[in-house]
Amino acid sequence: MRDTKNKKSEKKYLGIDYGKSKVGLAVADSEIKIAFVYGTLNNDNDFFSKLLEIIERENVSKIIIGVPSYVNKEETVYDGEKLGEAIKEALPRMKIEYQNEMFTTKMAQYNLIEKGVRGVKKHDDEEAARIILQSWLDRA
């Protein structure tokens, strides 16, 4: 049985693979340090309010957002960083970090194919979010 006194010190993390049409989500906690897929949200007009609901419902204390890692950065701010800024504006106390997302979609597709998952394209964003979050957990 878990000690409920330590429950308050346990932190919950949300990993995000942000895309123009779909956004993959993954969760982990500070005690177990294993990322699990949470699901995928459509990046539509309701996306941000749904994301904030999930953050509140899951009692998230830190968000890890995947961003590209290009040597010659052409854009000044990536979409994932813009999302982080919007979250910070809505939830000023939220801690946000960024994690290199290079090749995570390809790794996600490979993992899903290896597991025999049908509809790889339907699940690759949430698996990419899991990889992003797990990479962050492994180095944290």
What's 64's domain CATH number? 3.30.420.140
Q: Cβ contacts of residue 55 below 8 Å, gap of 6+?
A: 14, 63, 87, 91, 94
Per-residue model confidence (pLDDT) at position 7: 55
Query: Which of 43, 17, 81 is closest to 26 using CA atoms?
Result: 17
The whole-model pTM stands at 0.83
Cα 92 to the center of its chain, rounded Å:
18
> What is the per-residue pLDDT across 72-123, written as a single tens digit (0 to 9) for each?
556 566 788 999 999 999 999 999 999 888 777 777 777 767 877 787 677 7
Q: For strand 22-29 and strand 12-18, is the pairing parallel, antiparallel, or unpaired?
A: antiparallel
DSSP reduced 3-state for 98: strand
Query: Residue 18's pLDDT band (boundaries 50, 70, 90)?
Result: very high
Per-residue model confidence (pLDDT) at position 125: 86
Could you give the number of structural domains in the chain? Answer: 1
Residue in this structure with the two tokens 């964003």, named with its chain if needed: 125
